Structure formats: structure tokens, C-alpha cells
Chain A
Amino acid sequence: MLGPGIASYLIVSVVLFGIGSLGVLVRRSPLIVLLSLELMLNSANLTLIAFSRHVGGEDGQIFALAVMVVAASEAVVGLGLIVAMSRFTVDLDVDKLRMLRG
């Protein structure tokens, strides 16, 4: 295998996951939370594909494609929720959504 080994790809992936989780935890705009979620899903995809190359079987790539489908569905439902929030004139701020709190 030319270039860096599998471990370097895994390190890139875990740093990307850290960036994504930081975005989910720190930002309060639901749109940026969704974008950070995409970052985390993509870093998991990078791990799957790196291990697929390492093991020499393509099943990891199939997994990655399935994760992509789930990410697309999650984006559809999340964006639908954000549009519904704006219709109901709720503040677009995840800290202010306390309707379900007892």
C-alpha cells in the first residue's frame, strides 16, 4: 500500500469526529448541529473504508454506503423539523426548546 498506513487514516478520522462532536455540543443553532452531525457520520465512514482497505474485503464500503443513506434520511427529517420549528415561530436555538420538560 502506497503512502501512509491505516493508522494515519484512523487518526484523521478520530480528529474529525472530535471536531464534529465539539460542534454538536457547543453550537446552539440546530442547522449547525445537523452539519456537525454530518461531520461525525463522515468520520465513521472514513474508518469503515480504511478498515475495508486494511482487511481487503469490500463489505466495509457497503456499510459506508448504507451510512450515507441513513445520513441523507436524517438530514431530511432534521431539516423538516427545523422548517416546522420556524412555522410554529419557535426560536431556532436548541437551548430554548424546553416544551417537553416537566
Chain B
Amino acid sequence: METASEILVWVVWVGAATALFASGLAVISFSNPFFSALALIVNLAALAVLYLLLEAEFVAAAQVLVYAGAVIVMFLFVIAYLGGRVDAPWAGETSLQTFASVIAAAAIAVEVLVVIVMRANDGLSNSARISDAFGSPQSIGELFLSDHLIAFEVTSIILLVAAIGGVILGSTVPREQRAEGRH
């Protein structure tokens, strides 16, 4: 029984990690941003599966609702509004900048990987035992309204400021267009 569930968790984990990498590579390689945004939805769903394996049920639900439900829809609206202007074909030649970017990204990844592998057998083994209520909406809500009340209120101010900024940026009209009277 124990080995069966162990194998099941491994299968789900490998599937989610593969989907995560494949969709992440798809996000950065499509020339049409519409398909990139769709690939990001797959990426977020795979991440939500990993969150569930880490006993973070509430965060997984919030991830699917907030990201796939709100942020990606916003992206898709902007892509649809701008139409063909947002197509981003790959540059024909690989410039020195591309080469340096690949090296920089690989360097960051390798540095952190080395540290993780060095620490994998002492600090990172033996995870804490947790109760069944870990990560449930009830316990997250309790923490939000007790220990992290200020963070909770500050995030609402950030959202308000971002909403105002979005409206102001979205309603800016160039001077020549304003003079012609077409808004």
C-alpha cells in the first residue's frame, strides 16, 4: 500500500515536471505571443499539481484562479487588442547578445544547482512532519488575519495602486491624436 502510493506520487511528479519544462520552453520559443500565453496556462496548471504534492491546497487553487483565470485572460485581451503588431519572429542571425544571454542564464541555473546538490544530503533531507490541516484555507486564513495582517493590508494597497496606474496608462492619448479629436 505504502509503495503503491509512493510510486503514484513519483509518476505524478515526473509528469508535472515534464509538462512544466516543456510548456516553459514553449512560452519562450513561440513567435506568436498568443500561443505563448496558452503555453503559460499549461505551465501554471503543472505548477498547481506540484503545489498540491507539497500540501499547499489553497495556494494551488489561488494559482489556477488568479493566474489562469485573471492574469492570462488579461494577456490574451491585450494580444487580441494589438492584433498582428505583437508578432515577434525570431531574428535570423544569432547575435553576440543571444550567445551571452544563454551563458548568463545557464550560469545562474548551474550555480544554484551545485549548491542544492551539495546540501541535498544534510540540510534538505528529513522534512518536518505536518498535520492534515497544513495548507488548508482555514489555516492560511488564520495566519493572514493574525501574524501577517499588515502584509495582507499592504497587498490590497498594491493592487489598488496598480489598478489606478493601469487605468492612467491605458487612457493616455498622444497629443496629435487629441488635437484631431479621435480618442
Chain A residues engaging chain B, CB cutoff 8 angstroms: 1-12, 14-23, 25-29, 31-32, 34-36, 38-39, 42, 45-46, 49-50, 52-56, 58-59, 61-62, 64-66, 68-77, 79-84, 86-89, 92
Contacts and interface: CB of A to CB of B under 8 A. Distances in A.
B147 A59 contact: yes
Contacts, number: 243
A76 B163 contact: yes
Given A38-B71, A76-B163, A87-B172, A49 B6 contact: no
5 contacts: A9-B54, A17-B108, A61-B56, A76-B166, A92-B82
A60 to B, nearest CB: 9
Given A36-B27, A77-B166, A88-B174, 13 more contacts: A5-B127, A11-B113, A14-B113, A17-B112, A32-B36, A46-B47, A52-B54, A55-B128, A62-B144, A66-B151, A75-B75, A84-B172, A92-B82
Q: Is the interface of A mostly helix, strand, loop or mixed?
A: helix
A18 B105 contact: yes
Interface string B24-52: 11011010010011001001100100110
A79 B162 CA distance: 11
Q: Is the interface of B mostly helix, strand, loop or mixed?
A: helix
